[in-house]
Amino acid sequence: MADSAVKRVAILSPGLIGGSIGLGLAARTPGLRLTCWARRAESSAAAVALGAAHQVASTPEQAVQGADAVYVCCPVGAVGDLLDRIAPHVGPECVVLDVAGVKAPVPDWSRRLVQGAFVGSHPMAGSERSGIEFARADLYQGATWVFTPLEGDAPWAVSRAVGLAEALGARPLICTVEEHDRWAAALSHLPHLLAYALAQVAQDRVPSAGAHMAGGSYRDGSRVAASSPAAWTEILMANRREAADACTAASVWLAEAAAALTQGDGAALAALLDAAHTGRLEVGPC
């Protein structure tokens, strides 16, 4: 649970992720003071109107002053610059977290702070929608929240970061930066690439009249192709070595399946499906 030293939390760039952090903390930890800052004034106003923050700061520097915890929720490519801006204003006992889907930059981000402590984190929740209007107080209930502490990170900072996630109902998972990025490539980045691939192949082959033939497998398989291509280009490029590796492996698997089909080799196809089916990871219900 959140430690009692946490009185003030700042949320920078609240969208679906940051807005849901604000809504969840407001609902679950009474007494906490939530300040937000967003590049667009309408977003800050929406955060307060929705109850995801109590007050608006006009600059990120102002937002983090006196904060005990800061969530940096901007896109991955903007985290470094935002950290540079707030670094001189972060107090010595403040923990700063990112929520980006790629953790390779964490050592660099960590070095940018001059006081306080940075902890890399990635809440495994969200949806194909973005924007604070989709934020939900229960978005993290039962979700996994990954933390990638570096050797030498202050134990109090990691503990505080984990405690806040637990206060939001999330289950913490601690791993290394490298593990996170390899696992995320297989479990999040590849499913998105496969969804975009499915959306492309289907639109090339099926006229709109035939779209009514789509059943649950197409809907589920293509769901996240509704995600923002710009946002996903950025996420994938930030983890491009691992994402390319997983993507190539899927491409090769599919080429093997296509070859078995073309050659009429049912035994080879069955062996591919059977191995994939039998060894699939146990992940429980959504």
Residue ranges in 129-158 that form contacts with a second copy under rule CB under 8 A: 143-144, 146
Query: Stretches 35-43, 90-98, 154-162, 261-269: which one binds a second copy (CB under 8 A)?
Result: 261-269
Instruction: Quote the least distance from Cβ 105 to a second copy, whole Å.
Output: 15
Instruction: Quote the least distance from Cβ 237 to a second copy, whole Å.
Output: 5
Instruction: Quote the least distance from Cβ 70 to a second copy, whole Å.
Output: 24
Rounded distance between C-alpha atoms, residue 92 and residue 69, angstroms: 11
Residue 206 exposed, middle or buried by CB count within 10 Å (0-12, 13-18, 19+): middle
Instruction: Quote the least distance from Cβ 29 to a second copy, whole Å.
Output: 24
Contact 83, 72 (CB under 8 A): yes
Residue 213: CB partners within 8 Å, gap ≥ 6?
Answer: 206
Query: Stretches 14-22, 28-36, 66-74, 175-183: which one binds a second copy (CB under 8 A)?
Result: 175-183
> Can you tell me which of 126, 160, 163, 164 binds a second copy, judged by CB under 8 A?
126
Rounded distance between C-alpha atoms, residue 27 and residue 134, angstroms: 16
CB atoms within 10 A of CB 219: 9
Tokens of 60: 């990120």
Q: What is the C-alpha R_g of the chain?
A: 21
Q: Does 269 bind a second copy (CB under 8 A)?
A: yes
Tokens of 110: 């960590």
Instruction: Quote the least distance from Cβ 97 to a second copy, whole Å.
Output: 17
- Find the binding residues for a second copy in span 65-104 (CB under 8 A): none
Tokens of 51: 């109850």
Q: For a second copy, which is the closer residue by CB, 66 or 169?
A: 169
Instruction: Quote the least distance from Cβ 88 to a second copy, whole Å.
Output: 31
The amino acid that residue 95 corresponds to is V
> Can you tell me which of 34, 125, 132, 135 binds a second copy, judged by CB under 8 A?
125
Q: For a second copy, which is the closer residue by CB, 164 or 190?
A: 190
Contact 79, 57 (CB under 8 A): no
Over the window 197 to 236, marking each residue x when it contacts a second copy by CB under 8 A and - when it does not, the resulting string is xxxxxxxxxx-xxxxxxxxxxxxxxxxxxxxxxx-xxx-x
Query: Stretches 65-73, 103-111, 156-164, 256-264: which one binds a second copy (CB under 8 A)?
Result: 256-264
Which helix (H) or strand (E) covers residue 123, if one does? strand 121-123
Q: Does 191 bind a second copy (CB under 8 A)?
A: yes
Rounded distance between C-alpha atoms, residue 89 and residue 172, angstroms: 28
